[in-house]
Amino acid sequence: MPFPSYPFIFLFLPLVLAVFFLLGSKGRIDGAAIWLVLASLFFYGSSDPVFPLMLIASVLVNYSLGMVIRKDFFALPRSAALFAGILFNLSWLAGYKVYPMIGGVVPTGYVPNVDPYPVAVPLALSFFTIQQVAYLVDTYRGEVAGQTFLRYLLFVTFFPRLLAGPILRYREVGAQFADPQVYRFRSQNLSAGLTLFSMGLFKKVVFADVIGRFADSAFHAAALGAVLTMQEAWSGALSFTFQIYFDFSGYTDMALGIAWMFGILLPHNFDSPYKASSLVEFWRGWHRTLSRFVRDYLYIPLGGNRKGFFLQGAGLVFCFLLIGLWHGPAGTFILWALSHGVLTMLNHVWRTIRQSREHNPAPAPQWETWLGRVATFTVVTVLWVIFRSPDLPTAASILKSMAGLHPMPEAGFNNVKINEDRLYLFLAVCWFLPNSRQVMANLFDPDRRGQGVEGWRWWEWRANEWWAGAAALFFIVSLLMLETVRPFIYFQF
């Protein structure tokens, strides 16, 4: 049941909210939590009734191992329990990624709008698996206090973030689920949540799904053997660059908005990554919770930047390799990730050399920031071609067309859809408009939360008539286009 659908918006979500707060208002906190778990399992099982059983099995194993690690269950070596938990989760994940290959279904790359394998791969398997790995590691480190099975089950199954992320740590939401005030209805939470949901819905339906048609047109033609013109190749590459951003960012905004309707604040997952002036900054803004997981649970334990350039670079490239495999065991994902890893390593080396030569570095001038922004955006766009292509030969063909290395066919020969006006519009949105975190600053910024409106910028959200009208406009325009909604890109991962 996708977020951008009539049954979810007009039936499932209102019903779940109403019963949740009805039970909470009567002081039945555990009852409200159980209701939310059952609703989340129903939501997850709407595409396949087997999926909730798989999810519950994963939860039972990880919760039990967490008890062993805390020595709440019976005395076993804590390190052995942690190793068993990590092995179980990674085997579970790798098994579903590799199993189709045993049957002769070899994934070659990105598969648009369809399930990539003809087997029942649980949706969002990668998301909830690595989230539970983080839980076990944090428990081992003593960063997670004891909690009931119900709270842990709610932490894993909470439907707003189950399919789209963000990737959570228990300490970020565990205390929130235990707070009795969360189960009390607050009109301002509903207002802010609806606004954020409407903005995300607009991004997904009006921006991502519309520009996705132009990306599909170019990549589909190239996959069938067509030689694209330079204009067609760049149009396809840029179209997908904006499609994947607005698709993922929009879905995440919807997830954060729904969670806030329940009074749960989730971490923001995007921070204007296309405004980055280097690849290091890009990965600090793109899918931030995945980058944070890789940094805290892989990169730093491997030595981080404490072991010298060589080991730092090797660890960085290895982490990016795992990010590629997380998306799937396809050559396109692996090449895309390794390319990012090598270029990010070189970016770190350059920053270190520059800082060593400038003892008191001044802020970069505007022209240098913009030059870095344009260069970074271009590199990211080129690498998205590898990610989006169904196989490596298609990626090579498109990249050659973008570089002008192909003999060019006549304009219009391939019947590829091009709309430059939309590309300019989306570039302006990404570069010059505030992102949803900035718009909802009083929600996501701890220093601003709960303060008065004095000093607010005019475009920052507040509970007033102007923002109610803006949210209604986003919502209504999106509803008019729900019939043509496309599947969420990251469902296949």
Q: What are phi and psi of 426, to 5 degrees?
A: -70, -35
Any residues with CB less than 8 A from the CB of 270 and at least 6 apart, and which? 245, 248, 249, 252, 285, 286, 287, 288, 435, 436, 437
Q: How many CB atoms lie within 10 A of CB 137?
A: 20
Is 327 a residue of the active site? yes
Alpha-carbon separation of residue 105 from 48, 130, 166, 313, 390 (angstroms): 21, 25, 30, 34, 14
Distance separating alpha carbons of residues 61 and 453, to the nearest angstrom: 47
51-69 and 149-157 are packed helices; what angle lies between their axes, rounded to 10 degrees? 130
182, 176 Cβ separation under 8 angstroms: yes
Distance separating alpha carbons of residues 352 and 356, to the nearest angstrom: 6
Task: DSSP letter for 35, please.
Answer: H
Which of the following is catalytic: 327, 340, 348, 359? Answer: 327
Any residues with CB less than 8 A from the CB of 300 and at least 6 apart, and which? none
Rounded to 5°, angle at Cα 145 from 143 and 149? 125
Name the 3-class secondary structure at 393.
Answer: helix
Q: How many CB atoms lie within 10 A of CB 303?
A: 13
Any residues with CB less than 8 A from the CB of 431 and at least 6 apart, and which? 274, 275, 373
379, 181 Cβ separation under 8 angstroms: no
Which amino acids are annotated catalytic? 327
